[in-house]
A = this chain, B = another copy of it.
Amino acid sequence: MAQQVYKADQIKRQVLASLRKFGERVVSDLERGRFPRIEIPARTTSNIVYDEKLRQYVLGDKRIERTAKNIRHLRPFAQLLWIATFAKQLIQRGKTSTLRDTYYVAIGEGIDFEDQSESDEMIMQLESILDFPREDFHIFPEERASIFGDLVIEYSIPGFRGRRIDLSAHPDGFAIGPALTTAEFVRCGAEQVFVIEKGAVFSRFVEEGADKKYKAILIHTAGQSPRNCRKIIRRLHDELGLPVYVFTDADPWGVHIASVLVHGSALSAHIREINVPDAIWAGVWPSDIRRYKLPSMKLSDRDIKRIQEL
């Protein structure tokens, strides 16, 4: 019987090939007696542009060069190579990590990172060099969203490979971690996806049977949607053709959460296709407050500051 090949397996192969290419380039430079150098897409604000075709924020053409010839580049270059090595080990051993955990491991191995923001930066550089989001080299968000609805998935991770679960079996929702993120969708009775910011609203939707009444998969983002959750939403849209509706609070924070789901964020402009340009912000709109004479609360100074930042 042939071993089933999952999408996650293909991605794994591609990421490993990409890591190998990066490593070979450094080795080849060294073997020829040259200082290793690499070009990395610049992730500065001025290099973030909106791509009309992809309908998301992406990086422009500006690139930065990192070369071992420059003594000031040596340290970040070495840090980057350590991160690449760590990523390869995670994939090969079937283990996962987080931004924070990666920093801890680095400290444990005596790698010289000033603080976590330095190792985070290297992880993001590796993302843009490999052109894969860090979840694909097994660095996952610490935060967990959850999912509930008429969808059967099949796991691809070691120990659970080939096993299936029906995501309508637990009404509090299934946490979206490494196993769910890399699972295949095998059967879906739902016709749309409701993405919900607040736990109270998610529970209310479950209690009202919104999953059955509207044939909807319910996703609880628990605030800002973690990146692997955004990827799952994108996959539900792309692979199953499901329309996506976003229910957030009618405040600047809710608007931002919805906007990241639709357009992507500046922080992940170097990552493609974890947003859903066709997603529809379906929660109460501020204009609905007047239209339907809804009760409302005054915007705080903090809210107003947040609006100006959007």
Contacts and interface: CB of A to CB of B under 8 A. Distances in A.
Given A159-B209, A207-B94, A207-B95, A172 B165 contact: no
A36 interface: no
6 contacts: A97-B200, A107-B295, A107-B297, A163-B169, A169-B169, A172-B179
A144 B220 CA distance: 10
Interface in A159-192: 159-160, 163, 165, 169-180
A198 interface: yes
Nearest to A107: B295
Nearest to A181: B172
Taking each of A169, A172, A297, which has the highest tally of chain B beta carbons within 10 Å of its own beta carbon?
Answer: A172
A142 interface: yes
A137 interface: no
A179 B175 contact: no
Contact of A178 (B143, B159, B203): B203
Query: Top 8 nearest A-B pairs by Cβ distance?
Result: A172-B177, A101-B200, A98-B200, A173-B175, A172-B175, A146-B175, A171-B179, A142-B199
Contacts of A172: 144, 174-180
A150 to B, nearest CB: 14
A26 interface: no
Interface string A151-164: 00001011110010
Contacts of A173: 144, 174-175, 177
Interface string A30-61: 00000000000000000000000000000000
Interface string A122-141: 00000000000000000011
Given A107-B295, A174-B174, A199 B143 contact: yes
Given A172-B178, A179-B172, A295 B110 contact: yes
A96 B179 contact: no
A81 interface: no
Contact of A96 (B158, B163, B207): B207
A142 B198 contact: yes
Taking each of A158, A159, A207, A209, which has the highest tally of chain B beta carbons within 10 Å of its own beta carbon?
Answer: A207
A237 B173 CA distance: 24
A144 B179 contact: no
Nearest to A139: B200
Given A108-B294, A143-B199, A178-B203, 17 more contacts: A94-B207, A95-B204, A108-B295, A142-B198, A144-B146, A144-B175, A155-B171, A159-B209, A163-B169, A170-B174, A170-B179, A171-B177, A172-B176, A173-B174, A173-B175, A173-B177, A174-B174
Nearest to A110: B295
A66 interface: no
Contacts of A295: 107-108, 110
